[in-house]
Structures are given as C-alpha cells and as structure tokens.
A and B are shown apart, each in its own frame.
Chain A
Amino acid sequence: MSQVITDRDGEFRHFDQATFAQVDDDIAAPMAYIPGRRWWIALACSGSLMLLGFSLMAYTVSTGVGVWGNNSPVFWAFPIVNFVFWIGIGHAGTLISAILFLFRQPWRNAIARFAEAMTIFAVMTAAMFPVIHMGRPWLAHWVFPYPNDMSIWVNFRSPLVWDVFAISTYFTVSLLFWYVGLIPDLAAMRERAATKVHRVVYSVLSCGWTGLNRHWRHYERTYLILAGLSTPLVVSVHTIVSFDFATSVIPGWHTTILPPYFVAGAVFSGFAMVLSVLIVVRRLFHLEHIVTMRHLDHMNKVVLATGLMVGYAYCIEIFTAWYSQEDAEIFMILNRITGPYWWAFVLMFSCNVLAPQVHWSSRARRSIPIMFTVSILVNIGMWFERFVIIVTSLHRDYLPGSWGMYKPTLVDLGILAGSFGLFFTLVLLFVRSLPVISMTEIKAGLPGAQISKHARVPAKLPAVEEANV
C-alpha cells in the first residue's frame, strides 16, 4: 500500500535506517529555505481573506452588529455558528495530543504537533466571535469576574460565563501543552539556526534547554501533567458550549443530549479539519513517510465512529421530540426537516451521517481523494449542524407571532471567509516557522533511542513498521 504512494511521490526514505540528524533535516526542511511560489500564493489568498475578515470586523465594531443579518427572533446567527464550529475544530488536537498520549497510542506522534497547533489556531479564531458578537465589544472585559469599584460581579448562573472560563482555560492549557512539547524541538532548531536572529529567537523560546537528564525529567513530567489536565477539557469545553443551548428554554436547544452530542461532533469536525489540512501539508512538504497512510486510516476510523455518534444524536433528537408529545418540540423537529431551512438539515444530515459511511471500506479509508472529499463534506456538514441548531431553533419558537426568517448579509459571509483566512494564515506561518512534526517524539521512536525502559513512548514507531512492510 505504502509502496504505491511512495512510488508516486518518489520521495521515500528508509526511516528505520534514518539517523536522528536525518529526521531533524526532514522536519526542519521547510524552515530552511525561502518558501516557494505555492506557499506565497497560498499565504496571499489566506492573508487577503484574513484582512477582509478583519476589516469587516472593524466595520462591525464601528457601526454595530446591525450590519449582519441577525434580527428578532434570530438574535444569534452566523457569528455564533462560526464560534461553535471553530471551537469544535480545536477538539481533535487536544484529543490526539492528550487522550491518545495517555492511552499510549504511538501513531499520534506524527500528527500530534500539527493537530495541537490547529487547536490553538482554531480556538484563537473561535474566540474572536464572542467578542465581536457583543453589541458593545469594548466592554467585553465585563464578562470576567474582576474586582471593580462598583463591586459588580458576573452572573455565575449564565452559561456564557461558564463559556468564558471554559474557553480561556482551554486556550491556556492547549497553548502550554503545545509550547512545552515544542521546547526540545526549539532547542534543536536553535542548534541549526543559520542566522543570529534565528538563534536568538530560538534560544529565548527554548528556555535554555540543553538536553540534560534533569531537563528531560522535568519535561516529561510536565508533559504528562498537562496531558492529564487537557484530557477533561476535551469533554468539558464543548459540553459547556453546549450548555449555552441546553440550559435555555428554546425548543431544539433545551435537550439533555446536547453535551455528548456536541463533544462527539467536535471531535468529528476536528478530525475532519485535521485530515483536510494534513493531506495537503504532507503532500506539499513531502512528509508521506512520517504521516503515513496508516495514520490517515486511523483518523478516518475516528471520523466514521464520531460520525455515527452524531447520526445517533440526530435520530434521538427526533425520537425525543416525538416521545415528549410537546407541541413545540414536535413542531421544532418538523420545522427543521420540512420548514424553510430544510436544505440546511438535508445538507447536515447527508454530509455528517451519510458521507462518512464510505469509510466502512478500507479502500476508501486509504484513498486520498475519497478521504479528502469526505473530510471537506464533514466540515461543511458540521458548520451547517450548528446553523441548524442555532438558526432553525430560534426562528420559530413558541409564539408564532414572533416568528421570522434569517438571511445572512455579505458582511456575515465575509467574516466567515475571514475566519478561514485567519486560520489558514496561522497554519501557513506555522509550517514555515516551527517544526510541524515533533522531532523529539519521532526521534524517540527510532531504534536505539530508548536506552532503557522509559515512561514515555513505546520503543517502536509505527510509521517505521509500516514503511518496512
């Protein structure tokens, strides 16, 4: 299997014979030379989108959120859809780096750094939305419980306050986790630095790492602790985001299934997004021997599994509505499926439930075009899932006299595009400035790396196993 790919790419190297230096060379390669034209084109595209998004956000803040399509009764729309979507994207990173780490799943090593970085970028992108979504974003700090001379406290009953804590914790822990994991690699980069500027920057960032035994011991303890801290966050963040909806009284929101449903959906969309980006990156930077077909296969299995969970949630929502025999609940489900936004429901259901079903076939799981298509479809479907939950629940709730329709404006679409611009700009900058794959962890898997039984990773790197097949 891998043979086919390596033949096509013509870049295969035998990693079991690779030296530590070769690993470093391969992974650090993208940072060593002036980027090629394709990178610049990609950066220009995503950078323009990002700037478009930023200028539209500036326009929003200076004029008012009335430049969006939000209205009464759809008080939340695109920005919150985007927020939940991006927060969800981040979940794959934490799941891969923390939970799979704790479960000793060595195949994660090749993709963990990348997924973590995507988590950070996704959370950064997501975190913008609650701020610009406010009517008076210049007062955003009021949602923090800080001591003030008026002695006004935040409302701890509000799920939005929980959100503030959940997301800031999530971001902080993810960033620390990512950064701590980067330290040995940064030191390696320092050693390789060609210019003084590079050396100084990497020196500062690597915190004086010299590879002493003490350093390694502290590093591994810290990494383990942070992995332990991150693990509950995988569950808690999207659970709390789902509380924004689940604790309300609105039909379609007021459901106890929302927390697990949101977490499954988040992992689902996160894996899809990691897949979409990784497929491109591994191709562009010739990392097929590190991020192998087996990795992708595993990820596709996760996509399939979480897709089934999400599908179950969709079905159980319909069942619950019928079982409740509440007029408003039944109407809500019927309105989702047959109402004016039926197409959003169809899009959601077919992208999220039907499309991943191809992954029952191992051939599909190992076909780049198929998995790429599915991952993109899942991304689209998961965005629409949030649209369905938010917009179609709000636009028709209890009193038909207040019902309305929602239509996004160009500003809404521009900010959505801008959020992708921001995310991909950060990704592009990341791949040029930091090792996208953990050199340390790859090297730890090389033969001879482990001199004794060690608490960290198993001796054998699965990527190598596969390459030997």
Chain B
Amino acid sequence: MSSIGRSDPQGLKGNPGADYWRSLEELSQKPGNESLRQILADAGATPSSTDLNRRGFLAVVAASLAAAGVGCSRFDDRGEIPSYPDRLEGEIPGVPRYYASTLVRYPGSLPILATTREGRPVKLEGNPEHPASKGTLGVFGQAATLDLYDPDRQQTPRLKGKVISWGEADREVRSQLELSARAGKATLLVTGPLVSPTARSLVRLFVSTYPQTIHRSLATFHEAERLEGRQLAFGTPTLASIRWDLANLVLSLDCDFLGVQGGPGDETGFSARRRQEHASGMNRLWCLEAGMSVTGANADHRFPLRPGLQPRFLVWLLGELILRRTIGPLASDPLVRQAARGALLNIRLEEFGIPEPAAKALVDDLVKSQGRTAIIAGPQLPAPCHVLVAALNVTLGNEGTVVIPNPTIPGSEPSTLREWVEAAEMMNRGRVGLFIALDVNPVYSLPEVGCREALAKVPFVVASSLLPDETTGLAQLTLPAGHDLESWGDSDSHPDVLSLQQPVLRPLFEARQSEESLLAWLNPPERPAANYHEYLKARWKNEVHPQHGAGVDFTQFWEAALHDGFIDLKTTPAPASTLSVPEVADALSRCSQKVEPGFDLTLRPSPRLYDGRFATNGWLQELPHPVTTQAWGNSAVIAPSTALSLGCKEGQILTVKVGGSAIDIPVLVSPGVADHSIQIDLGYGRQSAGTLGSQVGVDAGKLRSRTGGVSAWVYCGARLVVTSERDRIIRVQQHNSTEGRSFIRETTGESARNEGHGAQSSSHSQAAAQAANWKYKAEKWGMVVDLSACTGCGACTIACVAENNIPVVGPEEVAKGREMHWVRIDRYFSGPADNPSVSFQPMMCQQCDNAPCEKVCPVAATVHSPEGLDEMVYNRCVGTRYCANNCPFKVCRFNYLDYHKDVRAPAELLFNPEVTVRSRGVMEKCTFCVQRIAAARQAAKASGRKLADGDIRTACQQACPTGAIVFGDLNDPESRVHKLAHSTRSYQALAELGVGPAVTYLARIRNPHRGLKI
C-alpha cells in the first residue's frame, strides 16, 4: 500500500482518483477487472472475505497495520496520505506527533490534539489553544480512541449481508434514489444535528439535487425546550452561554452543567471561580434538583426537588423577587404582577421542602449579586420554565452580562418531535421509498415514534455507521462509516471559533466518512468535488478564507488552520431583544399547575454512555457513575425514603409504568434524590451494540412517549410496582461514609478566609520528618489534588486508562471488585440521608516515601526511585499481592486473569508503546506517568535545558477539566506543586501512618451562605 503518485502530487490534485489504483485489490474492484478480482479472491487476499481463513486473516491484519501505518497526514496537507516507510521530514520512529483536530459532536464539538505513534493515534488531549476547552478533554473525548479501534467496526459495505465494493454500493444508492424519485416517493435522509457548516452545505446540495429528499437530524438530548423558551421570551432563537468568570452566584435548577449537560467550557469556567485565590473571589452554587448529579454534588447549597415542583419553584422565586423585593423591570409591570399573584395563590414555600431560612438566604443572595448571577435550568424542563428563567435573569440584570445570548445557526439544531412524528407517518403510509441513516441510530433513539415498525414499511434502508447497531440490523445496505479521527470536517458549535477536523490516520478497513458517501451519491455532473476533503477545502477557500484570512493566501491560511485546529471567527452577536411580558405572564400560569399524583420520572443522559452511542465503549461502560458508582448498567435511582415507602431494597426489580409503557429495572437507593422522583439513565439496554454493549442495563427509552411527558425526558404520574425479583447492581464503591475519619478535609470559605483553616496537622509534619531521612538530590516528584476544584467527573480515570493501557475487565470482574483503574474517585456522603453533602476524592498511588508496598515485596518488584517514585517492575512481579494488602490506600490493581486475552485486531493498535501491557498474575498501579517524565526529560536534554516546571503533565492532570491535579518537582521551591503542597489548605491522606505520601490534597472549600449551615 503505497500512496498515490508521490512523484506527481500536483498532477494528482488536478485529476484526483482518475485511473490510478493503489493496489491490485483496488484495481480489481474497478469495472472490467473481474478476472483479477477472482484471482485475488482465490489467493485469499481480499480483505473482505467473510469467513476468515489464515491467509485472509493475515491479509486483513497486514492491511490494517499498513493502513494504520500510512495514516498520518502532514499539517501542511499535500492532499495525499503518505506511506510510512517513505516518511516525512522530521518524522522519527518512536517519537510521537501531534495533530490538532476536532471531534464533531452535538451540542458541543470537542477540540482535540491527537497523539500519534508511528502513524496511529493512541491518545487524545484537549487542544490547548482552543478557547472552548483550554486543553482539557472529558470522558467522552478521552474514550474516543477506543471506538476507532473497535474490532466490531463495520469493515466493508454490505448489501443484504453480502460484501460489495464501494462502487457497487454507490451505484445501488444512486439507483435507489432514482427509483424512489420515479415512484414519487420521498427519500428520508437522517443525520445527526449538523454542527458542521460544510456538512450543512453538502446536505443542502444533496436535497436540492434530489428534491424528493426530506432531511431530518436526530438527537436524543437537545436544546429544543430551551430554544423554544428563549424564542418565546425574547422573540429570537438564541441559546445562552454563561460568562462563568463574571458569575458570583449560580443557581442551577436541575441542570447538570458540571456533568453531562455541560459543554467542555462549562466545567473549566465554573471551577476557575471555585478558588479563593481568584481575583473576584469564590463563586457560590445553589442547586435544586431531582436526582443527585455531579453539579448537585458540587453545590454549596443543594435541595432535592421533584420535577413536578420545579416549575412551581420558578414561579415562587420570580414572585418573591418581583412582588416582595420589587426588583427589575417586571416588578412594575401590572400584567406580570397580576399573573404572578394569581399563580402564587396556590403555591406555598413549604411544598418545596426548602427550609424558610434557606429560601430567604437564596433570595438575599440573588438580590445581593444582581448582574453577577447565572440562573440556569436543565434542558429537560419544558419551555415555559425557560421563559421564567429568562425572566429571572432579566429581573436580576444577568441577561446580556453573565448570561450571553448566542444566535442559533439555522440547520444545526435537531428536528423536533413533531417533524419526527410526521416522518414516521410518511413511512408508515408507504410514502418513503428510501431511508438513509448517516451516523445515527434512529431505531434505538426514536422509540416514541415507532421507528422500528415504520422502517419495516420502507423498501430500502441505507445505514452508514461506525459500528453495527439496531438500525444497521434493519438496513438493506450497510456502510462502514469513518471515525472522527479518520474524517474531514469542521464545526461551528462554539461561539467565536470555527474548528477544523482532519483525519489523523487513513480509514481502517474500508471505512469512508458519511459525508464522503453523501458526496459520492451525487451524480458526477452535480458533484462539486471529487472527495469530501476537496469539498471542504473548496468551501473554506470560497467562503471562510475571504472573510477571515485577510492578508494571507489560502494555502497559508489553510495550513495554519490545520495546524491550530481552528480559526477565530467573530460570530455576529444576537441582536438586543426585550423580554416579552405576555409570554412571561403566560408561563407563570402554565408553570403553576398542580403536581400530578404518582412519581416523577426523569430520563437522564447517562454520564457514561450519553444517549447510548457509547454502549460499545468498554472504557465508558466500566467507568463508574460519578454519584451512584454503578458500572455496567443502569438502574431506577430513588431516595431512601421512597424505597422505604415502597418497601423495596437495592437490586429489587421495579416495574415503572408511564402511560401505556412499562419497563422492569432494578432499584438503586441513593441519598439526596428527591422524594417521589425516579431517575433513570438513558443509553442502556441496547439490543445490538457489539460484543460489549448488547443487553447491558435496561432501555428506559421505551418509556418515552409523544404526548405523555412534560418534556421528552420528564414524565409525571409514573406508577411503580415492586416485584419480588432481584437483579445484580454493580456498584464499584460499596461504602458511602468516611466513618468520621480525616482523610477528607473540608472547610468553609468563611473560616478559610478568617483563620486559615488548619488542614495541616501535626501528623503531616511527622511524616515529613520521616521522609527527611532520605534526601532526594535532584527531583522529588509530587502531586497536589485540589478537592475544591475536583468535580468527580472521571475524566482523569479515562485519561489514565488510555495512557497506561489499562484493560477493560467486564461486568463479572467489576462485580467481584477487580476493576483495574489506577486512579479511582471515591465518593462519600455526609449529613442527612435525604440531602447529604457529597465529597469526592481522587485516589491514585500516593508514591509514599516510606512505602508499605516496597517493604513487603519478596522479590523487590516495587522499589523506590531516587526521585521518589514507587516503581513497579512488572517483569519482576510474581504476584504475591502482598503490596496491595499492605497499601493503606488500596490503589494497587492485580491482573487476576489475562485481561488482555480478548483484545482482537485492530484493538492492539491502541496500546501506548511507552507502557508495558501487563500479563496476568502481575500487580500494577499508578506510576505518575513515568513514561511522560522520561519523555520530558529526554526532550529537555536534547534541547540542552533543564526540566522546567510544567514540562511534565501526567495524563490525569492533562485531562482534568478543572485543573484539580498539579504535578511537579517538590524539590523546586518555585514549582506550582511545591507552592500548593505548602499552602494552608494542604494535607496528606493517612499521614498519621507515617508512610509519607507524595500526593498532597488541598482541603475542599465550601462557600455556604453566611447564615446557613451546610
């Protein structure tokens, strides 16, 4: 597999793909070469042979290795994918290269920097230059590489199960397009929400070429309610983003903006103000929510509030502000005042279960921080709530200062439920002749319109997707789509930037990105470019460059954009708009409706599988839920009081009935959930999600209905029936209390300001004295974990998994307590069970100076490095497991079985070559990313300088969206880690044991209202 026409790249550019062929295989696929095809097939070298014999297998492995090997594109993009043996200037085997790109996602794309080793991406980091993420990357982004190398990936186009070539597939689609047009039937083109301007223009072109086409975009979780609310309130379609740097006070009404409902910038922005050192002081978070989310866990004041009461609370709050405190423009508006008075007639503060002093403190806080507050409500709340949120933000003067309206881009939002209902009707009536699903799984994602049944009425279904799923199962033609890392694209999902996506390796197998397919299905006369890369480039040349590339020619502009991964783009700000008073009055009355009897069900995006698209991803399946710590499954999460009144225990199967639908799902009892409320994560219970994800958990999407809900995700009046059956719930953490021990320390902002909070204890100095027996002459590596900044999201765990080749062990092993995560996040509850405080503590190897693990190993497989690391020598380990027993932090992980045994091609390409893949019978643990230390040292040495502070960043540190983890040299008094480790908030966990941990925790600061206890 050598690259095309290396000697004549210019000529190729002029006439790409004409009659060139890259290999005999490709040549054989061209018409007229049937005999060659036969010869190759006889030789077993066709990579598409279905029953793999040995030669076929070797051919596929060789092909995928070679494909991976030749993958990298230069940032200066020659329009070709060069062969690795003829490597590029500066390319040194063993030295990683980095490419800026974008994971194009809705609602927020993830800017990345892909680390490639010998042509294959092995690790993703956030793009440090990108304003949206500032170099951090959360769990979904970190886990993306695993999908790239998923052995279950679709490998070739298949027509009714038969392997065909891309040429045949394209001809088939074109003929089906014509067929359906001739029959006067519609073509339904279903994509995800188009956050890529180039994809939008391509879809527009496709629709105009095939006018019978109806385009629908699909997302399980979207902003439609918020959008509608703001549209009603202000008359223009906008969505709000928050200026976290200005927000002194945040009130979240069931919005998990620090978790799965936030974008890449929200966590980072919010947590920057969680530090007292911040110039504007520490912010305060009030949170009212039905379930216990990451956001609630991080709140200074949190109150459980069932979804049925949430609209009423907004009414109460608005009434309080404009009637009692007479604040803001609405206070003087008779219409609103009257509506508020009317609405408040049947609303009492008591019904919310919020103590009166707390409610008063909240209102005081809001009044005090006018213009410096952000009030946000979850996207699952119905539109009238968002009208009231807008009214509240206007009342407090936040709109336009802290809450910034951003105009939505036409075509980038997903289709509404009404549109889907219409589409399903058309399908059911037989008016759709062709259904094309591109990178979406409508059969799983659209249960409420009966997509599965409707698809049966469509004569021809085309599904292009990375992995086989429910939709490909029903499709006649299945196409292997490209992964984000194999695709070209762009994204304007973040205000003020246009992100660029470039492939970092050539598609594995025969994958082809869906946009490329869409382009290929245009007949040659209408086809504007030979491939999507050309199309993208042309659009950038014609539309983007003239506006933004002032002063530079296009090539330079393009190469700079590829290098940076984005360009700055001034989005036109939303026009100033005024609040619509009648709409507020209307919303007040609509939100003050009585609560339905029964239970309130909220269907949540899973913080691990999101809408189910990551069900195939073992890393995410195995990553415990941040609050319930459940892995490999979902559950109906209810409050202890609800469990008591229902008479059910954890693991008992509950029948949840909403309208006419019902599911059976095991119960998980979690403190802090609102009474009369059930929380279920969507995204589980996939029927066909490969070897890993099928039949894991319960598909709560079956409860969704077109009409029954307050919104698509909130259903009031659910009925629960307790059954006598039980099911296993896999919880990684079984004990919730700290038992009053002091390894987690907290203080309030107040006391921290006044007296320093005294987290330093005498035992700290004792351990330090012990450590002083040994002098670290050069570096002494240490880490600081700021419990105030940590939100418990789990990005560090996944980053560590990706960096250190940590295996997925599967549900059985996790149930036994054998998960392999080197850094885990312990979650503790304190206080009352109905509304506890939550504390998170990332726990990794503490690299003790006086390490208990080192002392007890009979074969000296854990030894102390001169720089203070507890080094684990895998090759020497015989597996007595004594080190793990003697570790007071229990951070050693043991390979009880050969966990890498089931790694199938091409998944082994994902392994980080810098880190040993551990065999069975061997202990492993965090090494402070010793390979990164070595690499940084080599780089420093090569450039003839000393290691500087910040040269080395551990994988967990780099991923952490809130910068809670700092690594460096404790011997360097100027280093950040040294300064933080000696700050007043610092303490060491279990320092009283005298083990001398090299990890220092910074006590968590809570910032409660002065008059309230937390």
Q: Give A contacts to B, CB under 8 Å.
A: 63-67, 69-76, 130, 133-137, 139-140, 142-143, 152-155, 157-161, 164, 244, 247-250, 327-328, 331, 394, 396-405
Report the 8 A-B pairs with minimum CB-CB distance, sorted nearest first.
A135-B879, A135-B921, A401-B826, A66-B896, A402-B890, A66-B897, A71-B817, A160-B858
Q: Which of B743, B879, B884 contacts A136 (CB 8 A)?
A: B879
User: Can you add 6 more A-B contacts, CB < 8 Å, to A75-B881, A400-B739?
Assistant: A72-B817, A154-B859, A160-B857, A161-B858, A249-B888, A404-B817
- Contact residues in B for A161 (Cβ distance below 8 Å): 858
Q: Give every chain A residue within 8 A of B738 (Cβ-Cβ).
A: 400
B691 at the interface (CB under 8 A from A): no
B831 shortest CB reach to chain A, Å:
16
CB distance from B493 to the nearest CB of A (A): 36
* A136, B922: Cβ atoms closer than 8 Å: yes
**Mind listing 10 A-B residue pairs with CB under 8 Å?**
A69-B816, A71-B816, A72-B884, A73-B817, A136-B879, A157-B856, A249-B852, A250-B885, A399-B743, A403-B735
In the complex, are the beta carbons of B995 and A249 less than 8 A apart?
yes
A397 partner residues in chain B, CB cutoff 8 A: 888, 890
* CB atoms of B733 and A64 under 8 A apart: no
Q: Is A136 touching B827 in the complex (CB atoms < 8 A)?
A: no
- How long is the Cα–Cα vector from A130 to B882 in the complex, in angstroms? 11
B944 at the interface (CB under 8 A from A): no
How far apart sit A398 and B885, CA to CA, in the bound complex (Å)? 11
Q: Is the CB of A158 within 8 A of B882?
A: yes
CB of A160 within 8 A of CB of B856, answer: yes
Q: Which residue of A lies closest to B897 (CB)?
A: A66
Q: Is the CB of A164 within 8 A of B920?
A: no
Query: B898 interface residue, CB < 8 Å from A?
Result: yes
Which residue of chain A has the shortest Cβ distance to B895 in the bound complex? Answer: A135
A72–B880 CB distance below 8 A: no
Of A64, A73, A250, A404, the residue contacting B898 (CB under 8 A) is: A64
Instruction: Say whether, besides A158-B857, A248-B886, A398-B990, A134 and B852 are in contact (CB < 8 Å).
Output: no
| A63 / chain B contacts, CB cutoff of 8 Å | 897
**Chain B residue at smallest Cβ distance from A404:** B817
Q: How many residues of B contact A (CB 8 A)?
A: 58
List, in ascending order, chain B residues with CB within 8 A of A248's CB. Answer: 852, 856, 885-886
- Is B85 in contact with chain A by the CB < 8 A criterion? no
Measured between beta carbons, the chain B residues less than 8 angstroms from A142 are 859, 876, 878
Inter-chain contact B858/A155, CB cutoff 8 Å: yes
Contact indicator per residue, chain B 857-901, by CB within 8 Å of chain A (1) or not (0): 111100000000000000011111110111011111111111000
Among A135, A327, A404, A405, which residue has its beta carbon within 8 angstroms of that of B920? A135
Q: Are A328 and B890 in contact (CB under 8 A)?
A: no
Which residue on A lies nearest to B827, using beta carbons? A401
Would A405 and B734 be within 8 Å (CB), given that A72-B884, A249-B886 are in contact? Answer: yes
Distance of A278 Cα from B889 Cα, bound (Å): 47
State whether the Cβ of B660 lies closer than 8 Å to any Cβ in chain A.
no
Cross-chain contact of B885 among A75, A140, A327, A396 (Cβ < 8 A)? A75
**Most chain B beta carbons < 10 A, residue from A157, A248, A401:** A401
| Interface residues of B, Cβ cutoff 8 Å to A | 733-741, 743, 813, 816-819, 824, 826-828, 841, 843, 852, 855-860, 876-882, 884-886, 888-898, 919-923, 989-990, 993, 995
With A134-B878, A134-B879 as known contacts, state yes or no: A399 contacts B843, CB within 8 Å: yes
B841 contacts across to A, CB distance below 8 A: 401
**Residue in A67, A136, A157, A398 whose beta carbon sits within 8 Å of that of B878 in the complex:** A136
Docked Cα-Cα span, A250 to B995, in Å, equals 12
* CB of B827 to closest CB in A, whole Å: 7
Inter-chain CA distance A135–B857, complex, in Å, is 13
Bound-state Cα–Cα, A66 to B879, Å: 12
Across the interface, A250 reaches (CB within 8 A) one of B813, B858, B859, B886, namely B886
- Residues of the A chain whose Cβ atoms lie less than 8 Å from the Cβ of B879: 65, 134-136
Do B894 and A160 touch across chains, with their CB atoms under 8 A apart? Answer: no
For the complex formed, measure the closest distance between the CB of B408 and the CB atoms of chain A, giving whole angstroms.
Answer: 42
Please determine whether B855 and A160 come into contact, CB atoms closer than 8 angstroms: no
Contacts of A399 in B (CB 8 A): 743, 826, 843, 888-890, 989-990
By the criterion CB–CB under 8 Å, are B843 and A401 in contact? yes
Q: Which residues from A are CB-within-8-Å of B923?
A: 135
**Which of B736, B817, B855, B882 has the most chain A CB atoms closer than 10 A to its own CB?**
B817
B886 & A135 in contact (Cβ 8 Å cutoff) = no
Closest chain-B Cβ to A278's Cβ sits at a distance in Å of 35
Chain A's closest residue to B824 (CB) is: A401
Closest Cβ of chain A: how far from B997's Cβ, in Å? Answer: 12
Q: Are A401 and B741 within 8 A (Cβ)?
A: no
Give chain B nearest CB distance to A42 CB in angstroms.
36
A158-B860 Cα distance, complex, nearest whole Å:
9
Q: Flag if B896 contacts A401 (CB, 8 Å).
A: no
Across-interface contacts of B827 in A (CB, < 8 A)? 401
Q: Is the CB of A403 within 8 A of B860?
A: no
> Does A327 lie within 8 Å of B741, measured CB to CB?
yes
Taking a contact as CB atoms under 8 Å apart, the answer to whether A398 and B743 are in contact is yes
Residues of A within 8 A of B735 (CB): 396, 400-401, 403
Q: Compute how far the CA of A293 lies from the CA of B995 in the bound complex, rounded to whole angstroms.
A: 55
Interchain CB contact under 8 A, B880 and A160: yes
Q: Is A66 touching B818 in the complex (CB atoms < 8 A)?
A: yes
CA distance A400 to B743 in the complex (A): 10
Is B921 within 8 A of A134, CB to CB? yes
Instruction: Tell me the complex Cα distance, A328–B888, Å.
Output: 11
Complex: chain B residue closest to A396, CB-CB: B735
How far does the alpha carbon of A40 sit from the alpha carbon of B885 in the complex, in Å? 43
CA A66 to CA B990, docked complex, whole Å: 30
Q: How far is the CA of A398 from the CA of B735 in the complex (A)?
A: 12
A143 to B881, CA, bound (A): 14
Which residues does chain A contribute within 8 Å of B843, judged by CB atoms? 399, 401-402
Provide the bound-state CA to CA distance between A108 and B892, in Å.
Answer: 49
Residue A249 contacts which of B813, B826, B857, B993 (CB distance < 8 angstroms)? B993
Closest to B850 in A: A249
Asked if A403 and B734 make an inter-chain contact with CB atoms under 8 angstroms apart, the answer reads: yes
In the complex, A249 Cα to B995 Cα: how many Å?
9
**Complex CA–CA separation, A394 to B898 (angstroms):** 24
Cβ of B368 to closest chain A Cβ, rounded Å:
37
Tell whether, in the assembled complex, residue A72 and residue B890 are in contact, meaning their CB atoms are under 8 Å apart: yes
* Alpha-carbon distance between A295 and B734 when the two chains are bound, in angstroms: 52
Partner of B859, one of A76, A155, A328, A394: A155
> Given that A136-B877, A155-B858, A396-B735 are contacting pairs, would A64 and B893 also be in contact in the complex, using a CB cutoff of 8 Å?
no
Cβ contact within 8 Å between B896 and A155:
no
CB-CB under 8 A from B743, the residues of chain A are 398-399
Q: Give the docked Cα–Cα distance between A244 and B858 (Å).
A: 11
| Shortest Cβ distance from B826 into A: residue | A401
Question: In the complex, what's the smallest C-beta–C-beta distance from B626 to chain A, in angstroms?
Answer: 13
What is the distance, in angstroms, from A90's C-beta to the closest C-beta of chain B? 21
Q: Which among A152, A247, A402 is the interface contact of B889 at CB below 8 angstroms?
A: A402
Known A-B contacts A136-B921, A143-B859, A158-B858; the reply to A327 vs B734 at CB < 8 A is no
Residues of B within 8 A of A153 (CB): 860
Query: How distant is the Cα of A153 from the Cα of B876 in the complex, in angstroms?
Result: 11
Measured between C-beta atoms, what is the minimum distance from B693 to chain A in Å?
23
In the complex, A131→B738 CA distance in Å? 37
A336 CB, min distance to chain B CBs, angstroms: 15
Cα(A249)–Cα(B992), bound, Å = 11
Residues of A near B898 (CB, < 8 A) are 64
Residue of B nearest to A161 (CB): B858
Chain A residues with CB under 8 A of B886: 248-250
Residues of B within 8 Å of A134, CB to CB, are 878-880, 921
What is the minimal beta-carbon distance from B637 to any residue of chain A, in angstroms?
19
Inter-subunit contact A133/B889 (CB<8 Å): no
CA distance A243 to B852 in the complex (A): 14
Chain A residue at minimal CB-CB distance from B741:
A327
Whether the pair A400, B828 counts as a contact (CB closer than 8 A) is yes
